[in-house]
Every structure is written in C-alpha cells, then in structure tokens.
Amino acid sequence: MGGAQANKPTKVQLGFLFNFVRYVEWPESVLKPGAPLHVCLVPGNADLTAQFTELVGQPVAGLSIVGKVLARPADAVNCHAVYVPAEAPGPLSAWVDAAYKTGALTVGDAPDFVDAGGMIGLVPVGGRYRFDINLGKALAVNLRISSQLLKLAKTVK
C-alpha cells in the first residue's frame, strides 16, 4: 500500500481509501460494534464517482460498507470516512470542516489536503501514489490510526 501505481488514478485512489479504513479505529460513540461503516464521497470527479458506486457494499475488514455521494458539506453528518477529490465543488475547507465536525476520517488528493486540515492526503510521487498523514487532526476526533499505516506514510504531521 505504500506506493501504488498511479496509472489508473481513480481505482488506485479508492483502493487507498478502502485500505485506510482497515487501519483506523473509530470510538464506539461514533461507530458502534457491528454497525456498518458509512463511507462518503464528495462529488467533482465523475470517474471516481462511477468507481465508488461499484466498490460500495463490499465488506472491508469484516465491516459492511454503506456508501453515499454527498450533495453538500452538511450531508457529511453520518459519515465515518469522507473522500474529498481535488475537483470537489466549492472550497476544500468547507468539506473538510464538515467532515471533521462529525469525527469522520478525511482522505483527499488535493495538493494541499493535509495542510488544509485533511487527515490523509494522497500525493503523486514518480508515477505512484504515496500519502501524508495529519495525525494531530485524527487524534483530535479520537480516531486511532494503526502504527502500521503510520510507518507507510511519506510524512506524518
């Protein structure tokens, strides 16, 4: 997972997202044991949206996945993980802030995603994707990111 090929970016980006949720623990107040994991996608990239709908419903690490494409930032209220593509409509901060307020893991591919308050940012490096982690933001909403995932990150802030 540390450096996947970037030749089919939407499939790779979603692969990262669905792998990341395997290495994150949500507090029981946010994700009850046995409850489905709500993975949400911010619109803006049609290819990403099409791929997302194909992947939703497949179990990840024993969790059943419920997927939703968001229409506006306020719709992130029931999400456990939110993917924000670089092509997201409106300001990036509106999507990141709305997801953060609900305690959701935020993953994105905008160049400044982690600096803008996102938790995990995908970074293209030499034809592959790596990722940066903003651990402080994740810890602030009581998300626990596995040490295995932290070791694979390009940068941890």
Tell me what pLDDT residue 38 has.
95
User: How many Cβ atoms from other residues are within 10 Å of residue 23's Cβ?
Assistant: 17
Higher pLDDT, 143 or 15: 143
State the Cα–Cα distance between residues 139 and 79, nearest whole angstrom: 17
| CATH number of the domain to which 88 belongs | 3.40.50.2300
Q: Which residue range is the domain that position 59 belongs to?
A: 4-156
How confident is the model at residue 60, as a pLDDT?
Answer: 78
Number of domains in the chain: 1
Task: Identify the pLDDT of residue 8.
Answer: 60
pTM above 0.75, yes or no: yes
Query: Which pLDDT tens digit goes with each residue over 39-94?
Result: 999 999 999 998 888 777 777 777 788 999 999 999 999 999 999 999 999 999 99
